[in-house]
Structure 1
Amino acid sequence: MIKVLYDIKVYRQVLRDIIKIDDVVVELGCHVGNSTRIIGDLSIDGQIIALDNSPESVNEMKSVTEEYPSVQFIKADVRLHETLEEVAKKIEKIGKCDVLSVDLGGGYHPDTTFKVFFIWSSTLKPRDTIIRNRGLLDFIHSASTDELIKSEFGWLESSGNDGIPPRLKEFKLWSSKIR
């Protein structure tokens, strides 16, 4: 399942609805850890990898990792190949990624948010993905089509095994290293 929404209360309720006690969750854009704490309360026997690049996240996330031993915080830019590679290696050792949570500013940069979702979900192949972004939600509700292409998991099955599109070079992330 892929869920796109904007309201933070709805976002956090969806986290509560889908996260199971032993889930492995990758949270992109944890900021100061308010949603991370919810995830930590839900996935008490699982593992949480929370990432953010903002300076204010460092001190706040230190207290989150002390309170929740299952949370690992990584201060990094999720657009970079090196960041994805680091997390992908951790997920490979664990053996699964159940939930990918993407909240990169909520209402801003839907193009960046979609690209990050696409490459991370294509690599990690989560059971469920939650994306918080107003622009993507507006696009979904404003678009129409007669075609039905649908994925049942938290990644786009119709294109998820194609690797990284070679023509998209605006991120260092789009690299031939991950297929």
Structure 2
Amino acid sequence: MIKIVYDIRIYRKTLKDLIREDDTVVELGSHVGGSTKIIARKNPRGRIIAVDKSPQAYEAMKKLEMEYPHLKFIMGDVRRHETLEKVHKEIKSCDVLVVDLGGGYHPDTTFKVYFIWSSTLKPRASIIRNRGLLDFANSSKMDEDLASTQGWLESSSQGGVPPRLKELKLWSEKL
């Protein structure tokens, strides 16, 4: 299942509804851990890998790591191949992939990150928080029946960590 939401309340409710107590969860865009706390409380017997590159995230997430031993924070840019490789070495797959890269901005970047990470980790469920993707999905009309039943796009995924892609190396924030 792939859920796309925008409202932070719906996003956090969806986390509570989908995450099981023993899931392995990868959270991309943890920032200072507001949603990470919800995930950590929901899956006390599971594992969480939270990734963020913002300087504000580091101290807050390190404190959360001490409070929740099943949480590992990785300071990194989710657009970089090295970050994906680091997470993949920790866990080969995950149950839930959570993507919140700014909520309303950059749907193209959010989708590319989701696509690469989900194709690699093959989650049971994915939750993406992005206004542009939600608007696109809700405004679309389809004449073909093409749908995935998992939290990743089965029809177009490749196996394993993808080779270094020019697009995943690093997109410029200044474009």
TM value normalised by structure 2: 0.92
In structure 2, the CA distance between the partners of 1:115 and 1:82, relative to structure 1 (3 Å rule), is same
Q: How does 1:51-130 map to 2 (within 5 A)?
A: 51-92=51-92, 96-130=93-127
Name 1:29's counterpart in structure 2.
29
Name 2:133's counterpart in structure 1.
136
Distance 1:20 1:4 in 2: 19
Q: Does the CA-based 8 Å contact 2:120-2:159 persist in structure 1?
A: no
Q: What is the CA distance between 1:86 and its match in structure 2?
A: 0.7
Q: What is the CA distance between 1:161 and its match in structure 2?
A: 2.5
Q: Does the CA-based 8 Å contact 2:94-2:122 persist in structure 1?
A: yes
Distance 1:35 1:27 in 2: 9
Q: Deviations over 1:88-133 (max 9, x none)?
A: 11112xxx41000000000000000000000000000000000000
Name 1:48's counterpart in structure 2.
48
Distance 2:70 2:32 in 1: 16
Name 1:176's counterpart in structure 2.
none
In structure 2, the CA distance between the partners of 1:60 and 1:162, relative to structure 1 (3 Å rule), is closer
Name 2:155's counterpart in structure 1.
158
For 2:78, what is the secondary structure of its paired residue?
coil
What value does the CA root-mean-square deviation take over the aligned residues?
1.8
Q: What is the CA distance between 1:162 and its match in structure 2?
A: 6.7
Distance 1:2 1:171 in 2: 21
For 2:77, what is the secondary structure of its paired residue?
coil
Q: Aligned letter for 2:115?
A: F
TM value normalised by structure 1: 0.90
Structure 1 unaligned runs (5+)?
A: 174-179
Distance 2:85 2:163 in 1: 17
Q: What is the CA distance between 1:62 and its match in structure 2?
A: 1.3
Distance 2:125 2:87 in 1: 17
Q: What is the CA distance between 1:38 and its match in structure 2?
A: 0.3
Name 1:172's counterpart in structure 2.
169
For 2:168, what is the secondary structure of its paired residue?
coil
In structure 2, the CA distance between the partners of 1:162 and 1:85, relative to structure 1 (3 Å rule), is closer
Distance 2:145 2:111 in 1: 19
For 1:154, what is the secondary structure of its paired residue?
coil
